[in-house]
Amino acid sequence: MTTTHASRLLAWYDRHRRTLPWRAPAGKRADPYVVWLSEIMLQQTTVATVGDYFRRFVERWPTVETLAAAPIDEVLSAWAGLGYYARARNLHACALAVAGLHGGRFPTDEAALLALPGIGAYTAAAIRAIAFDQPASAVDGNVERVIARLFALETPLPDAKTEIKARAARLVPAERAGDYAQAMMDLGATVCTPRNPRCVICPMMAGCTARKLGLAEDLPRRAPKAQKPTRRGLAFVLSRKDGAILLRKRPAKGLLGGMDEVPSSPWREGKLSTDKAMGDAPVPARWQILDGLVRHTFTHFHLELAVARATATTGRLAELAPGTSWCTVDRMTERALPTVMRKVIAHAVRN
Catalytic (active-site) positions: 39
Residue 93's identity, in one-letter code, is: A
Q: Environment class of residue 93 by beta-carbon count within 10 Å: exposed (0-12), middle (13-18) or buried (19+)?
A: middle
- Measured distance between the N- and C-terminal CA atoms of the chain, rounded to whole angstroms: 62
Q: Environment class of residue 33 by beta-carbon count within 10 Å: exposed (0-12), middle (13-18) or buried (19+)?
A: buried
Answer whether 118's CB lies under 8 Å from 93's CB.
Answer: yes
Cα–Cα–Cα angle for 302, 305, 310, rounded to 5 degrees: 165
Taking CA atoms, 65 is separated from 60, 61, 102, in Å, by 12, 8, 11
Asked if the bond preceding 220 is cis, omega within 30° of 0, the reply is yes
Cα–Cα–Cα angle for 249, 251, 257, rounded to 5 degrees: 90
- The residue among 296, 290, 320, 322 whose CA lies nearest residue 308 is 290
Answer whether 137's CB lies under 8 Å from 165's CB.
Answer: yes
